[in-house]
A and B are shown apart, each in its own frame.
Chain A
Amino acid sequence: MGFVSRAFKGRPRDQPRDARVPPGQYLVRDFPVLSAGPTPHTPLAEWSFSIDGEVDAEKHWTWEELRALPSETVTRDIHCVTKWSKLDTTWECVSVDTLLEGVETAADYVMAFCDGGYTTNLPLEDLTGGKAWIAYAFDGQPLESQHGGPARLLVPHLYFWKSAKWVRGLRLMNDDSPGFWETYGYHMYGDPWLEQRYSGD
């Protein structure tokens, strides 16, 4: 038997629910906010979304153009590296597959970039095949700025810091490169089921 915390009981166990909660995580009902700096407020008239970097031709959308793309409603569980998980979150969003249609690239990696200077890196294959979206509404309401509005990346199968708030574009890269938190020792990939929180996990 390994380490045991004397007299620690923990919350009551709940098997069906616990099966959806990755190791080391606990469930919340509210929606905690985490970010490294002030919340940016870019007016929608000045907002745009770009796909650039290692591509044959860059693509750009205004807010109206992005909102005119086919919309999906997805319900997913989300897992934050600060230990909270939230089940059955519902988002309105555009699939990253839709944005990448017609893009010619040999790149294997992506750096998501954001208002406020935040970045995060992901393998391109984690953003394609119906696994990632640009989300602009949560629970039927426009996404609040403190939760990343007007739009955030949604990649629910990875820790939530990969779901970059205030996202403004995806930069395709031939080689992997650390984003903001990854530079400070957070994991380059961030699979919550493998508990890839920090470098070396």
Chain B
Amino acid sequence: MAGTALQRRLTWRVAEVVDLVDETPRVRSLVLSVPGWPGHLAGQHVDVRLTADDGYQTQRSYSIASAPAAGERLTLTVERLDDGEVSPYLAAELRAGDKLELRGPIGGYFVWDITIGGPLLLVAGGSGICPLMAMLRLRQATGSAVPTRLLYSSRSLEDVIYRDELDRLVATGTALDVRLTLTRDQPERWAGYHRRIDTDMLTEVAWAPNERPLIFVCGPTPLVESVAESLVNLGHEPTRIKTERFGPTGG
């Protein structure tokens, strides 16, 4: 479990909102320009700090969805939680040209780089796709052929974040397989999965344990708990399974 020491001081930076992309009815990506951004690894996150005019401050963590080496551009993807304090501001109020305080990159365990290799199994629930998308974008940007499978659970097709881009990655990339499961509503003649991720689904999609895939699981806690437990029961080494969880309290 040893990792690279990350001991530099994390200072607050003022980012500028360059672009806003509506990904789904509830999810928006913020494309930010961050002067002096030191770079990041796929899977890391940032802390965002909001300050009201009376000095009140609050912070939240958001995964970085953009690939490393995009210079000073950084993309965060935010799901709007109706009773949230921060996500409605980021996903609905923020406009191009607004400023946003953030610091990072943070975290060094739930990260992937092409030198780490694979095969790679990525399992996402809802907006848990965000840090995994940074890995897929890195893989594409570097022309990596590391065999990769993504199993992604959403409520409905319109809730699938980055749907068009995922299609493009599959069409133009190498050795990438994307499987969707839609747990609530499915379009007519939907040929994909239509239930919560379970052991049978993981048996079909995951690499065999003796192929020793490196596994990243990100989503709400019940999904992460059940997927990680199923993978251990299937014989995958616990130390090859990295998890990141968030729930409604991330709002």
Contacts and interface: CB of A to CB of B under 8 A. Distances in A.
Interface of A: 2-11, 13, 23-26, 28, 30, 32-40, 82-84, 116-118, 146, 178, 180-181, 183-185, 197-201
B85 A146 contact: no
A4 B54 CA distance: 9
B61 A24 contact: no
Contacts of B249: 28, 30, 32, 84
Nearest to A27: B249
Nearest to B111: A184
Interface in B118-138: none
B51 A199 contact: no
A37 B6 contact: no
B5 interface: yes
A75 to B, nearest CB: 21
Interface stretch (B99-107, B162-170, B191-199, B205-213): B99-107
B57 A33 contact: no
A3 B101 contact: yes
Chain A interface helix/strand/loop/mixed:
loop
Contacts of A180: 1, 109
A83 B60 contact: yes
B245 A116 contact: no
Query: When A and B form their complex, which 3 residue pairs have the shortest distance between CB atoms, in order from nearest?
Result: A200-B9, A185-B6, A184-B108
Contact of A184 (B53, B107, B248): B107
A5 B59 CA distance: 12
Contacts of B107: 184-185
Given A10-B50, A13-B56, A5 B242 contact: no
A39 B6 contact: no
B98 A6 contact: yes
Contacts of B108: 183-185
Contact of A183 (B5, B57, B85, B238): B5
Chain B contact patch, size range: 35 or more
A200 B6 CA distance: 11
A2 B51 contact: yes
B171 interface: no
A43 to B, nearest CB: 15
Contact of A200 (B8, B238, B245): B8
27 contacts: A5-B51, A7-B93, A9-B52, A10-B85, A24-B58, A26-B85, A28-B249, A32-B221, A33-B221, A36-B109, A36-B243, A37-B242, A38-B229, A38-B241, A39-B228, A82-B61, A83-B58, A83-B60, A181-B109, A183-B2, A183-B108, A184-B3, A185-B6, A185-B107, A198-B9, A199-B10, A200-B9
Contacts of A25: 59
B59 A38 contact: no
Contacts of A9: 52
A197 B60 CA distance: 13
Contact of B52 (A5, A28, A184): A5
Nearest to A195: B59
B110 interface: yes
B91 to A, nearest CB: 13
A55 B122 CA distance: 44
A180 B110 CA distance: 12
B172 interface: no
A4 B58 CA distance: 12
A8 B50 CA distance: 7
A31 to B, nearest CB: 9
B101 A36 contact: no
Given A40-B238, A180-B1, A199-B6, A4 B221 contact: no
Contacts of A178: 5
B190 interface: no
